[in-house]
Amino acid sequence: MQAKSTRPVNDVRCRWQHWLATMTLLGLSMPSIGQAPAAPAQGGPALSPSVAALAKAVSSDPLTMGWMQGFPPPAAKLVMHTPESVVYPRNRWAFSHIRELVPTATVWRGNGPASPLPRAERDIGSIPFTDVDGTRRTFADMLTLTYTDGILVMHKGKVIYERYFGALNDHTPHIAMSVTKSLVGTLAAMLVADGKLDPAAPVTRYLPELADTAYGDATVREVMDMTVGVHYSEDYANPKAEIWDYARAGGMLARPAGYSGPPNFYDFLRTLRKEGDHNQVFAYKTVNAEVLAWILRRVSGQSLAQLLSARIWQPMGAEQDAYFTVDSIGTESGGGGFNTTLRDLARFGELMRNDGRFNGRQIIPTSVVADIRRGGDRAKFANSTSGPALPGWSYRDMWWVTHDSHGVYQAFGVYGQRIYIDPKAELTIVRYASHPVASNAANNPITFRAFDALAQSLMK
Amino acid sequence: MQAKSTRPVNDVRCRWQHWLATMTLLGLSMPSIGQAPAAPAQGGPALSPSVAALAKAVSSDPLTMGWMQGFPPPAAKLVMHTPESVVYPRNRWAFSHIRELVPTATVWRGNGPASPLPRAERDIGSIPFTDVDGTRRTFADMLTLTYTDGILVMHKGKVIYERYFGALNDHTPHIAMSVTKSLVGTLAAMLVADGKLDPAAPVTRYLPELADTAYGDATVREVMDMTVGVHYSEDYANPKAEIWDYARAGGMLARPAGYSGPPNFYDFLRTLRKEGDHNQVFAYKTVNAEVLAWILRRVSGQSLAQLLSARIWQPMGAEQDAYFTVDSIGTESGGGGFNTTLRDLARFGELMRNDGRFNGRQIIPTSVVADIRRGGDRAKFANSTSGPALPGWSYRDMWWVTHDSHGVYQAFGVYGQRIYIDPKAELTIVRYASHPVASNAANNPITFRAFDALAQSLMK
């Protein structure tokens, strides 16, 4: 049954939510994680912004909202695979139930025991910090204000804090959104280390199908570090942006009657045209991750799901199977379709923090982690749209590298998904969230302050 | 990309395959497992039927056929969620990849270790038997001729034989088709044993929504044993049969533009009208399993996937997560949408054979298994369309009970899916297959002779 909307279809806010919904379906990031979001207008009585934000976060808990409860759920409480049903606040349920909405491919954990996650729990919820507006807050406040669905903190290899909210629990996968890209970039760097993939080679050595596209004269490295000059816009506010063609091609955005566009990811990638020069500036575009995923399949002879299972998920002793969303011909979304539990995302984060070693094995070559930590070209990042908000950062192998004094590097996904690795503090944080605003610019300020306060506290 | 058919759309054979395809999607059984199938005409040179059948089975191996190989696969080798792509021979790939085609809900195995499946392997492939046409065959011949994707045989609690073919392996779920119903019936009988479900109660005690339907004056027992008088045809050959309404409602058959029929399983069940009297004759209709699944959800407060996980899959120590296909509002198909590995299906079969005890625990009450083994009303079965082909049988709690000298009872799914439990021979056989013909009547004769020969051999 279709949930009936009470909002008029032509309402601007409704259309904005429609765009957001599609991004949700696709697991895409905003063009820049540093870009300031357009804040939705607040209705209702005049509360202080701080109190109103807390109230909104608490009241949108998916269990409180009653999404998908009952057999059948009431029409007004349905969350389905429609653009409308996976925007805030329904996203608070949907992000933990993606496989119930779309086809998916398993990332098998293997048959072995899960690797141990030793515990040394302490309540870090009361750790204080000062928010950007001068408000004194706690780490727990940050979780509420960023619409956190779950968080797992590891310090010196032990779980010190693990909390779940709303629709998430310790064994259910949650969509990782663009955190997916960092997995794809890591796998690519592993194939480079194996000598199977040459980053200096033209993309067409592996994908001759892309000869007549923007990728016809790009190198693999330019794809891995997103410095490709490609005519492709992820501007949510423009219904003509290529993001919508991509969405329809991937089968995640419903196609109009008579649709004759590209029927899958592969065919869409073949339509991309060059814009500007390669290797000039960092330009965050999800299609690069899809091209890289295609290269990985061609080079390894495995699907992305098989490759990730064989090279990382099985060796690291994952606790649960993970999965990718797939298009109409079974192609995984390497741009944003990965779903896993927070515990297994934490295992992956720890694997990275430990220079590729975990579960008693060297799973990722040390050189791969070193390459990521060393980072990408900072000048090309500074000149990008992300540059002003994230000064001094770079992007390498599809990871965000801060170049700060702790050597922090991160995987980002829209709506608050995060892997945060602080080598100096021996700290790994993984968080899943379902923020009303896609752009991480909406939560970065408070997230960073809370994470930094935690790191400082742990290093005392 | 749509795989282009070279067959004209109006071709009768094409339409027949379209209907079969939909049944595949739905996991439905033919009206009677005893009904003789309409054999497709054989083309090509005149081989002996026996040689031609073997050749067809071998040449349709999905790896040989090359389905879904390559990145992307060639258009002619695609298997997608379209009616055409999951009929024979594409079903040989699709049945092991259902989650890549449609949305699904996890049946969680839990976090514990998998229960042991002790092994005492022997090659039973050479065990001989005489086919109905007098041909001397072996057990291994039967596997080929029934288009077996995998088989696991347990004798006295040990795995004596385990083989996989084509697209299946030991850790990948395969669709169980109407074997699903036997799980639903078992869960219902467990809730009866718990005192939570009264089989003598009217259906409307639990589902007042069905007051104005065929189920308005039916009892729960009549649903459990399929003696409901309901106007509902599963006649594949009739495009006006209610099966198509059911398929469109479940979202598994593509809806025409402007579709205004029931949008999900629940709403479809509300449309069913009475035909004849209840409790007169066995009448195998998939909708009864969907009604029973609804009752289970209402009584337990859990989804079917949650209930099966909590009551059976976790306690028995399943090795892999299983899953159900779901409709557009997340409703599991209790009629035919269950997918699990052969190993876990074998665990479930052994659990039944051992009177509900497995993995060191009494998981299903002994009384439940005894009730199933005692069987249903044999006269009502004899008078059904299934009666003539399966003399002396009955149907109880959605299990097929032979009442033979070994006390054999079985779960059946179209295209050859099977749980075969022979208590006297201490034998459990589970088989997955992708036969060109849906009806088990197409494989029962050879299957039964091979299974019987195996039992006799093991009892020597």
Residue-wise pLDDT tens digits, A302-332: 999 999 999 999 999 999 999 999 999 999 9
Whole-Å CA distances, A330 to A255, A325, B193: 18, 8, 43
Helices (H), B232-358: 242-249, 265-269, 286-300, 304-308, 342-353
Whole-Å CA distances, B244 to A193, B22, B236, B413: 54, 8, 9, 19
The 3-state secondary structure of B33-81 reads: CCCCCCCCCCCCCCCCHHHHHHHHHHHCCHHHHCCCCCCCCCHHHCCCC
Alpha-carbon span A235 to A35, nearest angstrom: 12
Q: Is A367 one of the catalytic residues? A: no
Q: Between chains, do A331 and B72 touch, taking CB under 8 Å as contact?
A: yes
pLDDT tens by residue, B339-392? 999 999 999 999 999 999 999 999 999 999 999 999 999 999 999 999 999 999
User: Would an 8 Å CB–CB cutoff place B71 in contact with chain A?
Assistant: yes
Q: pLDDT-based confidence at A74, cuts 50/70/90?
A: very high
Is residue A100 within 8 Å of residue B326, measured between CB atoms? yes
From chain B, pick out residues whose CB is under 8 angstroms from the CB of A111: 114, 171, 319
Roughly how many angstroms between the first and final C-alpha of chain A, as a whole number? 55
Of these ranges, A11-15, A132-136, B239-243, the one predicted with the greatest mean pLDDT is A132-136
pLDDT, residue B47, reads 55
User: Would an 8 Å CB–CB cutoff place B105 in contact with chain A?
Assistant: yes
Distance from CA of A133 to the nearest CA of B (A): 42
User: Would an 8 Å CB–CB cutoff place A75 in contact with chain B?
Assistant: no
User: Would an 8 Å CB–CB cutoff place A294 in contact with chain B?
Assistant: yes
From chain B, pick out residues whose CB is under 8 angstroms from the CB of A2: 263
User: Would an 8 Å CB–CB cutoff place B326 in contact with chain A?
Assistant: yes
> Hey, of A267, A306, A329, A332, which one would you mutate to test binding to chain B, going by the most B CBs within 10 A of its CB?
A329
Which single residue is written with the structure tokens 């990145």? B71
Q: pLDDT-based confidence at A47, cuts 50/70/90?
A: low
Q: What percent of chain B has pLDDT over 70?
A: 87
Average pLDDT of A366-384? Answer: 98
Question: Among A180-189, B253-262, B324-333, which stretch is predicted with the lowest mean pLDDT?
Answer: B253-262
pLDDT, residue A385, reads 92
How do B128-130 and B357-358 pair as beta strands?
Answer: unpaired
Residue B12 scores a pLDDT above 90: no
Q: Of the candidates B78, B99, B171, which has its C-beta nearest A103's C-beta?
A: B99
Residue A335 scores a pLDDT above 80: yes
pLDDT, residue B83, reads 74
User: Would an 8 Å CB–CB cutoff place A360 in contact with chain B?
Assistant: no
Q: Of the candidates B80, B114, B294, which has its C-beta nearest A71's C-beta?
A: B294
User: Would an 8 Å CB–CB cutoff place B329 in contact with chain A?
Assistant: yes
What is the side-by-side order of every strand in the sheet holding A174-175?
A: A104-107, A322-325, A338-340, A174-175
pLDDT, residue A87, reads 82
Alpha-carbon span B205 to B228, nearest angstrom: 16
Distance from CA of A372 to the nearest CA of B (A): 28
Collapsing DSSP to helix, strand or coil, B384 comes out as: coil
Residue of B nearest to A73 (CA): B329
pLDDT, residue B6, reads 32
Is residue B135 within 8 Å of residue B144, measured between CB atoms? no
Alpha-carbon span B309 to A35, nearest angstrom: 44
Higher per-residue pLDDT: A55 or B61: B61
| Residues pairing with B174 in the sheet | B340
pLDDT tens by residue, B376-388? 999 999 999 999 9
User: Would an 8 Å CB–CB cutoff place B303 in contact with chain A?
Assistant: yes
Q: Of the candidates A78, A80, A103, which has its C-beta nearest B101's C-beta?
A: A103
Q: Of the candidates A97, A105, A329, which has its C-beta nearest B72's C-beta?
A: A329
Chain-centre distance for alpha carbon B262: 25
pLDDT, residue B247, reads 74
pLDDT, residue B250, reads 79
Q: Between chains, do A100 and B328 touch, taking CB under 8 Å as contact?
A: no
Residue A271 scores a pLDDT above 90: yes
Residue B40 scores a pLDDT above 50: no
Whole-Å CA distances, B148 to B60, B168, B179, B438: 11, 10, 16, 13
pLDDT tens by residue, B156-169? 999 999 999 999 99
Q: pLDDT-based confidence at A31, cuts 50/70/90?
A: very low
Helices (H), B86-137: 91-94
Q: What percent of chain A has pLDDT over 90?
A: 78
- Phi, psi (degrees; rounded to nearest 5) at B54: -65, -45
Residue B79 scores a pLDDT above 80: yes
pLDDT tens by residue, A428-451? 999 999 999 988 889 999 999 999
Q: Between chains, do A71 and B257 touch, taking CB under 8 Å as contact?
A: no
Alpha-carbon span A300 to A307, nearest angstrom: 7
> Amino acid identity of B16?
W
pLDDT tens by residue, A227-241? 999 999 876 667 787
Question: Among A41-50, A250-259, B125-134, which stretch is predicted with the lowest mean pLDDT?
Answer: A41-50
> Amino acid identity of A108?
W
Collapsing DSSP to helix, strand or coil, B128 comes out as: strand
Q: Between chains, do B73 and A105 touch, taking CB under 8 Å as contact?
A: no
Distance from CA of B266 to the nearest CA of A (A): 7
User: Would an 8 Å CB–CB cutoff place B100 in contact with chain A?
Assistant: yes
Q: Between chains, do A297 and B326 touch, taking CB under 8 Å as contact?
A: no
Q: Of the candidates A72, A321, A326, which has its C-beta nearest B329's C-beta?
A: A72
In DSSP notation, B135-185 reads -EEEHHHHHHHTTEEEEEEEETTEEEEEEE-TT--TTS-EE-TTHHHHHHH
Q: Between chains, do A103 and B80 touch, taking CB under 8 Å as contact?
A: no
In DSSP notation, A66-95 reads TTT-SSSPPGGG---SSGGGGSTTTHHHHT
Q: pLDDT-based confidence at B23, cuts 50/70/90?
A: very low
User: Would an 8 Å CB–CB cutoff place B257 in contact with chain A?
Assistant: yes
Residue B292 scores a pLDDT above 70: yes
User: Would an 8 Å CB–CB cutoff place A208 in contact with chain B?
Assistant: no
CB neighbours (10 Å) of residue B307? Answer: 24
Domains of chain A are: 12-34+47-101 (no CATH), 128-188+290-459 (3.40.710.10)
Q: Is cis: bond before A263, omega within 30 of 0?
A: no
Residue B241: partners with Cβ closer than 8 Å, 6 or more residues away: B233, B234, B235
Our CA dihedral for A216, A222, A227, A230, rounded to 10 degrees, sits at 20
User: Would an 8 Å CB–CB cutoff place A138 in contact with chain B?
Assistant: no
Q: Between chains, do A72 and B108 touch, taking CB under 8 Å as contact?
A: no
Of these ranges, B57-66, B233-242, B269-278, B433-442, the one predicted with the greatest mean pLDDT is B269-278
From chain B, pick out residues whose CB is under 8 angstroms from the CB of A97: 330
Residue of B nearest to A260 (CA): B1
Q: Between chains, do A263 and B71 touch, taking CB under 8 Å as contact?
A: no
Which of A209, A199, A216 shows the shortest CA–CA distance to A274? A216
pLDDT, residue B305, reads 98
pLDDT, residue A49, reads 63
- Mean pLDDT taken over chain A: 88
pLDDT, residue B119, reads 98
- Burial per residue of B104-124, b for 16 or more beta-carbon CB atoms within 10 angstroms, e otherwise: bbbbbbbeeebbebeeeeeeb
pLDDT, residue A260, reads 85
Distance from CA of B38 to the nearest CA of A (A): 32
Q: Of the candidates B104, B298, B303, which has its C-beta nearest A99's C-beta?
A: B104
Average pLDDT of B97-105? Answer: 95
How do B399-401 and B394-396 pair as beta strands?
Answer: antiparallel
Q: Between chains, do A99 and B103 touch, taking CB under 8 Å as contact?
A: yes
Question: Among A188-192, B5-9, B182-186, B428-432, which stretch is predicted with the lowest mean pLDDT?
Answer: B5-9
Q: Between chains, do B113 and A108 touch, taking CB under 8 Å as contact?
A: no
CA angle, B221 then B224 then B227, to 5° = 75
- Selected residues 143-182 of chain A with any CB under 8 Å from a CB in chain B: 171
DSSP state of A176: -
Which single residue is written with the structure tokens 């007098």? B134
Catalytic residue (one of A29, A32, A178, A439): A178
Q: Between chains, do A328 and B81 touch, taking CB under 8 Å as contact?
A: yes
Of all helices (H) and strands (E), which one includes residue B361? Answer: strand B361-362
Residue A247 scores a pLDDT above 90: no
User: Would an 8 Å CB–CB cutoff place A108 in contact with chain B?
Assistant: yes
The tokens of A49 are what?
């912004």
> Hey, of B4, B71, B341, which one would you mutate to test binding to chain A, going by the most A CBs within 10 A of its CB?
B71
Question: Among A49-53, A89-93, A391-395, which stretch is predicted with the lowest mean pLDDT?
Answer: A49-53
Average pLDDT of B225-234? Answer: 94
User: Would an 8 Å CB–CB cutoff place A296 in contact with chain B?
Assistant: no
DSSP state of B278: T
Residue B49 scores a pLDDT above 80: no
